Amino acid sequence: MSASTHPGTETLLRYAAGTLPAGPRLLVDVHLEGCPECRATVARLMSVGGALLEACEPLALAPDALDRALARLDRPSTRRNPAVLHHAEAAGATPPKRWPLPEGLKLPPGVVLPPAIASRRIGRLVPVAPGVRLGLVHLEEDPDAQVLLFRIAPGRAIPQHTHAGLEFTHVICGGFSDPDGHYGPGDLVECDAEVDHSPRVDDDGECICLAAFDGRIRFRGLLGMVTRPFL
Amino acid sequence: MSVQPAEPRVAASGAELSALIVAIATRADREAFGRLFRHFAPRVKSYLVRNGLSANAAEELAQETLLTVWRKAAYFDPTRAAASTWIFTIARNLSIDLKRRERYGDTYQAEAHEDEVDETSGETMLMTAEREARVRAALAKLSEEQATIVRLSFFQEKPHSQIAQELGIPLGTAKSRVRLALNRLRALLEDLK
């Protein structure tokens, strides 16, 4: 299989359908911020969702469903009101959350974290193997999601691991290679469970990347012991 | 699953449905809301039941979806998305949020997602009506089996096993057929450019 640097069609479809788990969904969000082509594909797939919704065999609601809905129209929302939110943001009352860089993460000049990640709390990066540091990205919407931020020294291998489902890796800066090809900033790599791979970071600079999993991940050997408290 | 039509079929065009949302936005038109509700709520419920929600939860979320349409109608831009696509997106976001709440309780409020459908980037020049028509044309060009695969891929949380079961094929074969069907869909959609 040749190297693909974009999410696969099935991943984009699951994203559009709303069935992709929170971790991979975040990585697709990050990719979409920088990829107009995939944004266009997602927009088309949303239209497919609309067409499929339109074609759904209607399933009758309770007889009083419309009356209940009409009665609720004038009641204030129990959910957060988006109009109010909008004004508050315009007035600068609730600036978008931005966490400071986690301890142990230094970004090269000119590199910033993608906005979808900068708005998340990231735990301190801890060394987990020679030349490899790892921090946990916290997802409020899914505390069990495993999204990892890796900082890996030049020429180092990303540690051997296996996983039950798909693995997604997004490159923030630097680059790495695996038997299929080379990946650089903005690329999103999907790897499936059958592949036992160990990508290697370029020699000319460190690589900062994100990883998320559709299924649980297991690292081998020492790294498995070190990361157990996180995973 | 027993499915009864909720309504005698009234053919409603995309433009008419969009006009109903605009009527809600501009003059809080309750009659327009009623018509929109009768058209979409049973479809949203059907979609959510296929998506794995119980009939009760689907009914509640269908209500919530249409109430969100009422509250957010001002965000709807008929030049950028079809009514069905916009409402699909709202139902999608609410169901993601509901699944999260079921697992983790109500400590987190999802951000408002009004902008999501707007993101059509390079495509904004293509009129929505035309894009929607072409999306339907692309779907019509799929073989029956491929159309089933696309529908199940969209609506099922674990589509591969469901597809294997419905088509009576091994899981491995299902995976490769899914790949073929989705690649074909994507190629057809990319002809839209």
Q: The domain spanning residue A123 has which CATH number? A: 2.60.120.10
- pLDDT at residue B124 is higher than 50: no
Domain boundary among B119, B146, B176: B119
For residue A82, name the pLDDT band (cuts at 50, 70, 90). very low
**B155 lies in which domain range?**
123-193
* Mutation for A interface: B102, B121, B139, most A CBs within 10 A: B121
Q: Do A18 and B95 touch (CB under 8 A)?
A: yes
Looking at the structure, tell me whether residues B79 and B149 fall in a common domain: no
- Residue A165 or A106, more confident: A106
HEC-encoded secondary structure of B105-162: CCCCCCCCCHHHHHCCHHHCCCCHHHHHHHHHHHHHHCCHHHHHHHHHHHHCCCHHHH
Tell me the residue range of the domain where A217 lies. Answer: 1-53+114-231
Chain B residue whose CA is closest to A76? B71
Is residue B147 domain-resident? yes
Taking an 8 Å cut-off on Cβ atoms, the answer to whether B46 and A57 are in contact is yes
CB contact under 8 A, A48 and B185: yes
CB contact under 8 A, B183 and A69: no
Question: Which A positions 166-195 lie with beta carbon below 8 A of chain B?
Answer: none
Minimal CA separation from B117 to chain A, in Å: 7
Q: Which residue has the higher pLDDT, A62 or B192?
A: A62
> In this structure, are residues B20 and B36 in contact, taking their beta carbons and an 8 Å threshold?
yes
Given B75, B94, B119, the domain boundary residue is B119
DSSP character string of B53-77: --HHHHHHHHHHHHHHHHHHGGG--
Segment 64-93 of chain A within 8 Å of chain B by CB: 65-66, 68-70, 72-73, 77, 79-83, 85-86
CB contact under 8 A, A48 and B156: no
Q: What is the pLDDT of residues B157-171, one digit of tens each?
A: 778 888 899 889 999
Report the C-alpha gap between A76 and B80 in whole angstroms. Answer: 28
Q: Are A188 and A7 contacting, i.e. CB atoms less than 8 angstroms apart?
A: yes
What pLDDT is stored for residue A183 in this prediction?
A: 94
| pLDDT at A161 (0 to 100) | 62
Q: Which ranges of A18-151 does DSSP label H, i.e. alpha helix?
A: 22-34, 36-55, 65-72, 82-90, 115-118
Structure tokens at B168: 């009576």
Within 8 A of B157 by CB-CB distance, chain A residues are 19
Rounded to two decimals, the ipTM of the complex is 0.84
Share of chain A above pLDDT 70, in %: 77
Of B119, B134, B165, at which residue does a domain stop? B119
**How many other C-beta atoms are found inside a 10 Å radius of the C-beta of residue A110?**
6
Q: Residue A58 pLDDT more than 80?
A: yes
What residues of A are in contact with residue B33 (Cβ under 8 Å)? 69-70, 73
Q: Is a pLDDT exceeding 60 seen at residue A15? A: yes
A129 beta partners: A132
Strand partners, A136: A148
Q: How many Å lie between the alpha carbon of A6 and the closest alpha carbon of chain B? A: 14
Q: Is residue A79 part of a domain?
A: no
Question: Does one domain contain both B83 and B152?
Answer: no
Mutate to test the interface with A, among B84, B101, B171 (most CBs of A within 10 A): B84
- What would the mean pLDDT of B7-36 be, rounded to a whole number? 85
User: Does a structural domain hold residue B4?
Assistant: no
Which DSSP symbol is given to A217?
E
State whether B112 and B21 are in the same domain. yes
The pLDDT score that the predictor gives to residue A192 is 75
pLDDT averaged over chain B?
82
Is the per-residue pLDDT at A1 higher than 50? no
pLDDT-derived band at B72 (thresholds 50, 70, 90) equals: very high
> CA-CA distance, A4 to A23, in Å (whole number)?
20
Averaged over A3-8, what is the pLDDT?
Answer: 87
The pLDDT confidence band at residue B44, using thresholds 50, 70 and 90, is very high
B34 and B66 fall within a common domain:
yes
Looking at residue A155, what is its pLDDT?
A: 93
B175 vs A220, which has greater pLDDT? B175
In terms of phi and psi (left: phi > 0; alpha: psi -120 to 50; beta: otherwise), the region of A181 is: left
Which of A46, A66, A68, A140 has the highest number of chain B CBs within 10 A, making it the mutation to test binding with B?
A46
Mapping DSSP onto H, E and C, the string for A73-89 reads CCCCCCCCCHHHHHHHH
Q: Residue B127's pLDDT band (boundaries 50, 70, 90)?
A: low
Q: What is the DSSP letter of A215?
A: S
Residues B115 and B132 in one domain: no
Nearest to B41 among A18, A65, A143 (CB): A65
Banded model confidence at residue A195, pLDDT cuts 50, 70, 90? low
pLDDT of residue A148: 92
Query: What is the number of alpha carbons within 13 Å of residue B17 lying toward its C-beta?
Result: 22
**Which pLDDT score, from 0 to 100, does residue A224 have?**
59
B87 → closest Cβ in A14, A53, A143: A53
Q: How many domains does chain B have?
A: 2
CA angle A26, B104, A30 (to 5 degrees): 5
pLDDT tens figures, A36-48? 999 989 989 999 9
Per-residue pLDDT, B138: 92
Question: Any idea what the CATH number is for the domain that residue B87 is in?
Answer: 1.10.1740.10
Question: How many angstroms away from the CA of B55 is the closest CA of chain A?
Answer: 9
**B17 and B80 in one domain?**
yes
Amino acid symbol at A5 = T
User: Per-residue pLDDT averaged across A142-166, rounded?
Assistant: 81
B43, B92, B185 ranked by CB distance to A58: nearest:
B43
Say yes or no: B18 and B98 in one domain.
yes
A94 secondary structure, DSSP code: S
Q: How many CA atoms lie within 13 A of B55 on its CB side?
A: 8
